[in-house]
Amino acid sequence: MQQHTGWRSRFQALGPGILMATAAIGGSHLVASTQAGALFGWQLAWLILLVNVLKYPFFRFGVEYTLTRKESLLHGYQRKGRGYFYSFIVLNVIAAVVNTAGVLLLTASLLQYALPGNISVTLLCWLILALCLFILLLGHYKALDSVSKLIMTLLTVTTVIAAVIAWHNGAQAPAGYVGPSPWTLASLGFLVALMGWMPAPIEISAISSLWLQAKQRQTHITRAQGLFDFNLGYWLTAALALVFLSLGALVQYGSEQPIALAGTAFAQQLMQMYASTIGSWAQPLVAFIAFLCMFGTSITVLDGYARTLHASFEQLGVIKHKAALNYWLLAQAAAGMALILFFKAALAPMLTFAMTLAFLTTPVFAWLNYSLMRGDGAIVLSKPLKLLSWLGLAYLIGFALLFLLWFAKVL
């Protein structure tokens, strides 16, 4: 009976980890993971798994720091030094605007493809944005918590069903087909973009920290409950990344049709190829999965970045108002829509820039998260977690330097 109560309390404490998963399973999964499978088959499966394993400690530290210190990672960044804190704020402002515009446009484009008629993408952006704001402004964290759990449940079930169907029908690549190798300098930009948002940008660790604080204001969460929630969300995200890769490898890899590289065009192409290889009945299923991915990302991106910017400026003493979070939500939404309206054609390269920037800044904030944990006497890190942290830092720094050398050579 006691064990049953323990598991029930763990599931009742679910929230921040599921929100992190909902935020992560967007561009990195629907586009990058599936595109990796479509272009290179199964060759990048181990890289996706490796990146998730090596980034694990640094995302976990955000949750564990809050559970132990009863404060968010932002307080730790500020205490560590103004340079780190201000750098984080600047990067967060850029990411908030670019990511909001990018995920809204991708969500609207997918919805336009699935709906009959020729509804304007811009109008759909407004409608999706209005729905997200309606949910967030009325319910804030409680509404977001409930919506994210529903989205993740539907997303997991439907994605696995789609993968099983694709597996049952067999790979579309002809026998003996040998695809291109991803291990070339020409593919380095794609690999870095893939790893930058896999499973999510590193700033999500700070956002998860704030979501955890919001959850703690609703219910008491023990360390075991908090880590269970985080681990469930994190490893579910990693598993779904491999499932999405399998969709691309089974349905698109080896196809005579050139693979579209733009995010929206690629997602639409994936749906078309499902209809042609499996049957037109499967196209609505994939369209539903794609929309769930991006709507979940849209609503969590809006809340997460607005929450982080609100907390950052509140710590600086710039803005202290009960309704300030609502203002940040509206300001972020307006900035994202402005970017869509005025720079729509440039959003694809801007998203690639955001993903690359996320990868290049990951070593800095990964080290910062680790140093906060290591310097806290109340927290004892296990030897395996320390070793994994050092391996992760070495890998992230080494790959970032390799990319910078390649980029300098290209220029």
The encoded tokens of residue 230 equal 């985080």
The pTM for the full model equals 0.85
At 262 the pLDDT is 63
DSSP string, 231-248: HHHHHHHHHHHHHHHHHH
CB 152 within 8 A of CB 21: yes
User: What pLDDT does residue 52 have?
Assistant: 92
Q: Which residue from 98, 73, 320 is spatially nearest to 202, judged by alpha carbons?
A: 73
DSSP 340-377: HHHSGGGHHHHHHHHHHHHHHHHHHHHHHHHHHHHT-T
pLDDT of residue 351: 66
The residue segments making up the domain with residue 40 are: 2-410
- Please give the angle made by the CA atoms of 329, 332 and 334, to the nearest 5 degrees: 105
pLDDT value, residue 2: 39
Rounded Cα distance between 385 and 32, Å, is: 28
Over its length of 411 residues, how does the chain's per-residue pLDDT go in tens digits?
334 446 666 666 677 888 888 888 876 777 788 888 988 989 999 999 999 999 999 999 888 888 888 888 998 888 888 888 888 888 888 888 888 888 888 888 888 877 777 788 889 899 999 999 998 888 777 777 788 888 888 878 888 888 888 888 888 788 778 888 988 877 887 888 788 778 877 888 888 999 888 888 888 888 888 888 899 889 989 998 998 899 888 888 887 777 766 656 766 777 776 676 667 777 777 777 778 878 888 888 898 899 999 999 888 887 666 668 889 999 999 999 998 887 765 666 766 676 677 777 788 888 888 888 886 655 678 888 899 999 999 988 888 888 788 777 765
Show the tokens assigned to 284. Answer: 């609505």
Q: Are 110 and 283 in contact (CB under 8 A)?
A: no
| pLDDT, position 4 | 41
- What is the domain count for the chain? 1
Look at phi and psi of residue 41 and say left if phi exceeds 0, alpha if psi is from -120 to 50, else beta: left
**SS percent in the chain: helix, strand, coil, step 5:** 80, 0, 20
Distance, CA of 141 to CA of 329 (rounded, Å): 13
Quickly count helices (H) and strands (E) in the chain.
15, 0
| Residue 188: partners with Cβ closer than 8 Å, 6 or more residues away | 402, 403, 406
Residue 184 burial by CB count (10 A; 0-12/13-18/19+): exposed, middle or buried?
A: exposed
Closest CA to 68 of 378, 382, 375, 381: 378
Supply the angle between the helices 16-24 and 283-315 in degrees, to the nearest 10: 120
CATH at residue 222: 1.10.4160.10
Q: Are 266 and 260 in contact, with CB atoms under 8 Å apart?
A: yes
